[in-house]
Amino acid sequence: MTKLPRPREDLGGFQAYRTQQMKADVRLQANEWAEPNRAGQWLTPQELNEVLLNRYPSGATELREALAERYRVTPDQLVIGNGSNEVLLNTFLVFGGHGRRTLLFQPTYSMHERLAIIAGGTVVNDLVGLPYDLTRDHALAAAAKADAHIVCFTTPNNPTGNEIDFDVILAVAERYPETLVLVDEAYSDFARTTLLPELAAHPNMVISKTFSKVRASAGLRVGVLLTHPTVAEMFRAVQLPYNVSALTHAVAAKIAKDDASIARRIELCRTERERVYAALRSVGAIEVYPSVTNFILFKLKDGDTAGAHARFLEQSVLIRDISMWPGCKGCLRVSIGTPVENGRFIVALEKVFAAPAARR
């Protein structure tokens, strides 16, 4: 038998992270922006020729200035990463790691737990459950019990789609000033809310943003961390050199200035979300959770997520089965797509949850 090197024991059972990738005409499983965003529309041939691939990337000055202006911070408060998962991993590497604990309020973004463990730390999971109503008292009690070095909040939360009251997060940040409070705001643009104005008063808080959602650039892989300038330097000290490509810098700088598209997408998402939510609410076999994001969580009363997921696939509609996530037994999640895709989902919804005799 061939002998192979062994990973760390805490990583031995890890499987590769994959969203469900079955074939389907309508793909509503990954919380991406569904309308095409083609790379060719952002750089002219001349601008493309000015990107020199033989040179290492620069400091992304144009991108930093554009983001700083829109987030109303200074450029030195920004840490740019190859997708938000990279800046999140760096958060757990710098403030987590061996012998350090991270507190998560479940159910929440599954990568937080994976990244904390990859960084060598341990995770304390506090089960909030469904509906996801995290109160100030609950959060403070959990933080006291966990005695964690990092406390994570995702608002709006994934997979539940609702917001955490800012007073809850700020109460933890104020009670534990030497604890890092990570606020994942991947979906905050859809809700038109942010904790960024509180950064100056809470230097132990870091806020992560992404280009993958309302900026429609999941394939570009750009993540942003915003924090106190001194804390930002701690991140830059451990960040891999030249971690974001010159091409990415050039395209991202253009996308960062496209405020009109963001406003249009937010409004389109709102109207389409209301349409999909109403359709889900009309189905007696499911319980639907309100959302302010580009996805909706719903729970099957009979718990048969595998069967329903398969019936959606029969209609060539792919959604996300998250029944294995903590606190999400019996749950499916659907992303908001284009109006046509949402129409396909609504038609499929009627067939998937038709009477059993009709399904035969």
User: In angstroms, rounded to a whole number, what is the distance separating the alpha carbons of residues 358 and 352?
Assistant: 10
C-alpha closest to that of 336 among 37, 32, 21: 32
CATH 3.40.50.1970 fits 44-258, yes or no: no
Per-residue pLDDT of 27-49, as tens digits, reads: 999 999 999 999 999 999 999 99
Q: pLDDT band at 226, cuts 50/70/90? A: very high
Per-residue pLDDT of 212-225, as tens digits, reads: 999 999 999 999 99
Beta bridge partners of residue 205, listed in sequence order: 181
pLDDT-wise least confident of 17-21, 117-121, 318-322: 17-21
Pairing state of beta strands 317-318 and 150-154? unpaired
pTM of the model: 0.94
pLDDT at 359: 45
What residue spans of 239-258 are helical by DSSP H?
246-256
Q: Which amino acid appears at position 184 of this protein? A: D
Q: pLDDT band at 69, cuts 50/70/90? A: very high
Structure tokens at 184: 């994942």
Q: Terminus-to-terminus CA distance in the chain, angstroms?
A: 50
Residues 6+ apart with CB under 8 A from 103: 123, 124, 126, 142, 143, 146, 148, 150, 151, 152
pLDDT at 20: 67
pLDDT at 358: 41
User: In angstroms, rounded to a whole number, what is the distance separating the alpha carbons of residues 261 and 255?
Assistant: 9
C-alpha closest to that of 283 among 306, 300, 270, 269: 300
User: In angstroms, rounded to a whole number, what is the distance separating the alpha carbons of residues 216 and 209?
Assistant: 13
Q: Report the pLDDT averaged over residues 88-105.
A: 97
Q: Is the pLDDT of residue 360 over 70?
A: no
Q: Do 110 and 159 meet the contact criterion of CB atoms below 8 Å apart?
A: no
Q: pLDDT band at 314, cuts 50/70/90? A: very high
Q: Do 109 and 91 meet the contact criterion of CB atoms below 8 Å apart?
A: no
Helix axes 339-352, 259-281, angle to 10 degrees: 20
Whether the bond into 107 is cis, omega within 30 of 0 = yes
Coil, strand, or helix at residue 299? strand
User: In angstroms, rounded to a whole number, what is the distance separating the alpha carbons of residues 220 and 249?
Assistant: 10
Q: Do 169 and 178 meet the contact criterion of CB atoms below 8 Å apart?
A: no
Q: Looking at domain 9-37+260-352, what is its CATH homologous superfamily?
A: Aspartate Aminotransferase, domain 1 (3.90.1150.10)
Q: Which amino acid appears at position 46 of this protein? A: Q
Q: Do 349 and 288 meet the contact criterion of CB atoms below 8 Å apart?
A: no
Q: How far is CA 122 from CA 114, 116, 147, 222, in A?
A: 10, 7, 12, 27
Find tokens 């650039």 and name the residue.
217
pLDDT at 7: 87
Domains of the chain, by residue range, sit at 9-37+260-352, 44-258
Task: Compute the mean pLDDT over every residue in the chain, rounded to the nearest whole number.
Answer: 95
Q: Report the pLDDT averaged over residues 79-87.
A: 96
